[in-house]
Amino acid sequence: MTYCVALKLASGLVFASDTRTNAGVDNVAVFRKMHTFEVPGERLITILTAGNLATTQLTISELEERSKAAMERHPTILETVSMFQTAQLIGDTLRQVISRNATSGQKADSTFNATLIVGGQINGHPPRLFLIYPEGNFIEASDDTPFFQIGETKYGKPILVRAFDKDMSFEAAVKLLLVSFDSTIKANLSVGPPIDVQFYVNDSLKRGYDTRIRADDPYFMKLSTGWGEALRDAFQHLPDYERS
Amino acid sequence: MTYCVALKLASGLVFASDTRTNAGVDNVAVFRKMHTFEVPGERLITILTAGNLATTQLTISELEERSKAAMERHPTILETVSMFQTAQLIGDTLRQVISRNATSGQKADSTFNATLIVGGQINGHPPRLFLIYPEGNFIEASDDTPFFQIGETKYGKPILVRAFDKDMSFEAAVKLLLVSFDSTIKANLSVGPPIDVQFYVNDSLKRGYDTRIRADDPYFMKLSTGWGEALRDAFQHLPDYERS
């Protein structure tokens, strides 16, 4: 499993992804699930991946390879003219990778499916955020649905729904994401730190703040403890049920 | 889907279940998922059900029928000598119902599976709480795992893990359960009020407080609003992330 979230704020985009992959509980590894394609001053595209690791790695590799040696296939991910076209290109690549594995004669116990979040901005266009399905089609974040989650989404959703505010600062957004990740990590062994976090500031057209938060990060540890205590406090202060 | 929870407190057992069943989002109905078998002064057995409605109804009906007209099959659910034997009887009945449907020639899109929570006490024995799987086998609640959830368990689990205390009062336990149900109801359309709640006081050997909490119950509405505000407050008071 995996947990990745992207938020669309008024001031920009925030991405976060865990790094645990597992094939069974006895085969656990750390892989980066956040991938950025950048031409400073022209475009910034960040992809978060969830699902079959072979599928997501091959999808990212194909996008990279084509951008280096494009051959007959254009446009590459560094040439698309809009975020919409970028999402189409990534969706097509994902679908082709999945269908190639699914029909190649071999069968696997688990499916080859994967789901991606793609966000960023291309010069002259507004920033956009998409969720891409294994079938290659996609939906876009809006004011009504200003964030996307992929992977193990349930445990971390309640706090996102209750505390998200599109005018929050990047620093408050990272706090929100880390609380959401903490709830998920506590409940699902297949989601684990370190957590990659990236900001994109609207119209900057370059990578913003980008960091990896480890399990022993002092802020993350303080937040995890503090949130647990705050939840218990909040619960204690609500009135008990009264028998009628 | 469904959401049912049972807690094992130092002073007794608390049961809660939602009442929504659905076959598709356009076929929604209210059914009771909490069933009690009682011989006052001798035994109290409460069953919570999740899964295929035909399976759970037939399982409960068979248990009822046999207790009225036992014929050759003994013991019935009103005759078992211990909660362990009760769990075995219910597990066997559930497995037989499922396998009869699964092998009867007809195929259904969804499976006939169901999962049950069984708790109660029989005179001369301690109160016990079991989770029964579709295969008919079961596990028992312990000090390490003092509660069971069935159905849509993920959204409502974080608060149970953080705020459960085996020495809490029945009234505080109902508050905890209603917060857990509120988070689940807000996130999953297939879980819905009214919510059935029942207490069992250890060694009372009879049904304790038993009520149905509706969506417009003033306490439930106050708790839902209050919990949302308390979560946002708690979140606001945690320190924001600081860029290093």
Distance CA B244, CA B207 (A): 59
Interchain CB contact of B158 with A (< 8 Å)? yes
Distance CA B201, CA B87 (A): 20
DSSP string, chain A: --EEEEEE-SSEEEEEE--EEESSTT-EEE---EEEEEETTTEEEEEEEEE-HHHHHHHHHHHHHHHHS-TT----TTT-SSHHHHHHHHHHHHHHHHHHHHTSS---SS---EEEEEEEEETTS--EEEEE-TTS-EEE--SSS-EEEEES-STTHHHHHHH--TT--HHHHHHHHHHHHHHHHHH-TT--S-EEEEEEETT--S---EEEE-TT-HHHHHHHHHHHHHHHHHHHHSPPP---
Task: State the smallest CA–CA distance between residue A45 and chain B in angstroms.
Answer: 22
Does residue A241 lie within any of the structural domains? no
**Residue A101 binned pLDDT confidence (cut-offs 50, 70, 90):** confident
Chain A residues closer than 8 Å to B3 by CB: none
Domain total of chain A: 1
Does residue A243 lie within any of the structural domains? no
Range of the domain at A37: 3-235
Give the pLDDT score at A105: 60
Query: Is the pLDDT confidence value at A3 over 60?
Result: yes
Chain B residue at shortest CA distance from A228: B162
Does residue B211 lie within any of the structural domains? yes
Residue B89 contacts residue B67 (beta carbons within 8 Å): no
**Residue A104 binned pLDDT confidence (cut-offs 50, 70, 90):** low
Chain B residue at shortest CA distance from A172: B240
Residue A13 contacts residue A185 (beta carbons within 8 Å): no
Tokens of B57: 């109804």
Of B178, B179, B234, the CB nearest to A230: B234
Give pLDDT tens digits along chain B (244 positions): 899 999 999 999 999 999 998 877 788 888 999 999 999 999 999 999 999 999 999 999 999 998 887 566 778 999 999 999 999 999 999 999 998 877 666 565 557 899 999 999 999 999 999 999 999 999 999 988 899 999 999 999 988 988 999 999 999 999 999 999 999 998 888 899 999 999 999 999 999 999 999 999 999 999 999 998 998 999 999 999 998 7
Specify the residue for token string 């409940």.
A187
Which residue in A15, A2, A1, A4 sits closest to A201, CA to CA? A15
Residue A130 sits in a domain whose CATH number is 3.60.20.10
Q: A146 or A73, which is more confident?
A: A146
Give the pLDDT score at B110: 59
Give the pLDDT score at A110: 59
Average pLDDT, chain A: 92
Does residue B228 lie within any of the structural domains? yes
Task: State the smallest CA–CA distance between residue B22 and chain A in angstroms.
Answer: 20
Does residue B244 lie within any of the structural domains? no
Task: State the smallest CA–CA distance between residue B88 and chain A in angstroms.
Answer: 30
A223/B179 Cβ within 8 A: no
Does residue B77 lie within any of the structural domains? yes
| Cα dihedral B48/B53/B58/B64 (nearest 10) | 30
Of A161, A175, A238, the CB nearest to B238: A175
- Which residues 23-82 on chain A approach chain B with CB closer than 8 angstroms? none
Task: State the smallest CA–CA distance between residue B1 and chain A in angstroms.
Answer: 15
Chain A residues closer than 8 Å to B211 by CB: 243-244
pLDDT per residue over A150-173, tens digit each? 999 999 998 898 899 999 999 999
Chain A residues closer than 8 Å to B163 by CB: 231-232, 235
Q: Taking the model in full, what pTM does it have?
A: 0.88
Does residue A240 lie within any of the structural domains? no
Determine how many CB atoms are found less than 10 A away from the CB of residue A124: 9
Residue A205 half-sphere exposure toward CB, CA atoms < 13 A: 12
Chain A residues closer than 8 Å to B231 by CB: 158-159, 162-163, 231, 234
> pLDDT > 90: what percent of chain A?
78
B230/A223 Cβ within 8 A: no
Does residue A191 lie within any of the structural domains? yes
Interchain CB contact of A232 with B (< 8 Å)? yes
Give the pLDDT score at B70: 58
